[in-house]
Amino acid sequence: MKIGFFGVGNMGGPMAANLAAAGHDVTAFDLVPALLVAAEESGVHTTDSPARAVDGAEVVISMLPSAAAVTGLYLGGDEPGLLERIAPDTLIIDCSTIDADTSRRVADAAAQRGLAMIDAPVSGGVGGAKAGTLTFICGGPEAAVEQARPVLDAMGKNVFRAGDSGAGQVAKICNNMLLAVHMIGTAEALQLGADHGLDPAVLSEIMKASSGSNWSLQVYNPWPGVMPNVPSSNNYEGGFGVNLMNKDLGLALTAALATRSATPMGALARSLYASHANQGHGGKDFSSILTQFKRQDD
């Protein structure tokens, strides 16, 4: 497949590299020239012109930081957007995590030009992007998701269709809101046990085999040293940043406001992560929320 790829940052870089490694002909564009040099080294062609990245492309993929970046790219601002340039029958896959309304708006504009577009935000983080084991959570017409599947398979191991356009974004933020809540719950439970003299490693084994078991305990223990090769055992470096978790919790709360859904745990999680970031931990992995529960008299 000939693929135009926009945004070769922490996630997009390895995703584009995996597409190239699977034999696709990938041409990438990013606003940061140094990232294009790195992409070249991983077998991806690059260009300094967005228009050239989509010329002749059968599939266009974007992995951008924000809704503003996505609308700017496809709908344009002072300059015309990419939708004006992309040839009919091209499939557009936006993997960015953004709000569902923006996803729907851009997909509608694409449909008006006869272009199929799906939202396909991912779960799995930078590790999953590098290993090619991401989960894609798609929203859009069934036929378009099926058309995207072979391309997504080169970058991930699970492809779900959550529903129509925007549904991928909704499912993704539901998941990440739950992730924040169970990470915080896991952290405070471990600290409570440790404050009462329990070994956090032993307590973790007990809870993993009991009704409190969850993903944070199973594969991402927040207590330093309990598990090798997780951010908590590496000074909370790498992994999924507090700033990114705050972005996703903000999207979840905005979505909850739109439907007047009660999300008390999500709201509390957002407050805790916001103050954690405000104390200077925005660049740390999200499991560092455990440090909020440490007693200062220790």
What is the rounded distance in angstroms from the CA atom of residue 295 to the CA atom of residue 298? Answer: 6
- Cβ nearer to ligand NAD, comparing 125 with 224: 125
Angle between helices 167-195 and 100-112 (to 10 degrees): 160
- Cβ nearer to ligand NAD, comparing 47 with 213: 47
What is the rounded distance in angstroms from the CA atom of residue 72 to the CA atom of residue 77? Answer: 6
Q: How far is the CB of 245 from ligand NAD (least distance, A)?
A: 9
Greatest CA separation for the chain: 65
Residues of the shown chain interacting with ligand NAD in the complex, contacts defined by CB under 6 A: 6-7, 9-12, 29-32, 35, 63-65, 69, 72-73, 96-97, 122, 125-126, 240, 244, 247
Query: Which one from 2, 130, 157, 172 is the annotated catalytic residue?
Result: 172
Please identify the residue of the shown chain whose CB is closest to the bound ligand NAD. 9
- Cβ nearer to ligand NAD, comparing 11 with 226: 11
**Active-site residue, 2 included:** no
What type of residue sits at position 199?
Answer: D
What is the rounded distance in angstroms from the CA atom of residue 87 to the CA atom of residue 58? Answer: 8
Q: How far is the CB of 81 from ligand NAD (least distance, A)?
A: 10
What is the rounded distance in angstroms from the CA atom of residue 54 to the CA atom of residue 89? Answer: 12
Q: Under a CB-based contact definition with an 8 Å cutoff, are residues 184 and 115 in contact?
A: no
Q: How far is the CB of 296 from ligand NAD (least distance, A)?
A: 30
What is the rounded distance in angstroms from the CA atom of residue 22 to the CA atom of residue 31? Answer: 25
- Cβ nearer to ligand NAD, comparing 233 with 243: 243
Q: How far is the CB of 204 from ligand NAD (least distance, A)?
A: 24
182's tokens:
């169970």
Residues with catalytic roles: 172
